[in-house]
Amino acid sequence: QSVLTQPPSASGTPGQRVTISCSGSSSNIGSNTVSWYQQFPGTAPKLLIYSNNQRPSGVPDRFSGSKSGTSAALAISGLQSEDEADYYCASWDDSLHGWVFGGGTKLTVL
Amino acid sequence: QVHLVQSGGEVKEAGASVKVSCKASGYTFTSNGITWVRQAPGQGLEWMGWISPSNGNANYAQKFQGRVTMTTDKSTGIAYMELRSLRSDDTAVYYCARHKDRTWSWDYWGQGTLVTVSS
pLDDT of A20-72, one tens digit each?
999 999 999 999 999 999 999 999 999 999 999 999 999 999 999 999 999 99
- Confidence check: pLDDT of B101 > 90: no
Is A50 in contact with B107 (Cβ distance < 8 A)?
yes
At residue B8 the predicted structure's pLDDT band, cuts being 50, 70 and 90, is very high
**Those residues with Cβ within 8 angstroms of residue A67's Cβ, 6 or more apart along the chain or in another chain:** A29, A33, A34, A52, A53, A73
Is B95 in contact with A45 (Cβ distance < 8 A)?
yes
Among candidates A35, A17, A16, A37, which has minimal Cα distance to A92?
A: A35
Instruction: Report the percentage of chain B scoring pLDDT > 90.
Output: 97
Residue B114 in contact with partner chain A when CB distance is under 8 A: no
Beta-carbon-side half-sphere exposure of residue B74 (alpha carbons within 13 Å) = 11
Mean pLDDT (chain A) is 97
Instruction: Report the percentage of chain B scoring pLDDT > 70.
Output: 100
At residue B110 the predicted structure's pLDDT band, cuts being 50, 70 and 90, is very high
What residues of chain B lie within 8 A of the CB of A92, using their CB?
A: 104
* B95: exposed, middle or buried (Cβ count in 10 Å: 0-12, 13-18, 19+): buried
User: Pairing state of beta strands B58-60 and B106-109?
Assistant: unpaired
For residue A96, the model assigns a pLDDT of: 95
For residue B102, the model assigns a pLDDT of: 83
- Confidence check: pLDDT of B69 > 90: yes
Mean pLDDT (chain B) is 97
Q: CA of B46 to nearest chain A CA: how many angstroms apart?
A: 7
- Confidence check: pLDDT of B6 > 90: yes
Interface of A with B (CB under 8 A): 2, 32-33, 35, 37, 39, 44-47, 50-51, 54, 56, 88, 90-92, 96-104
Q: Average pLDDT, stretch A73-93?
A: 98
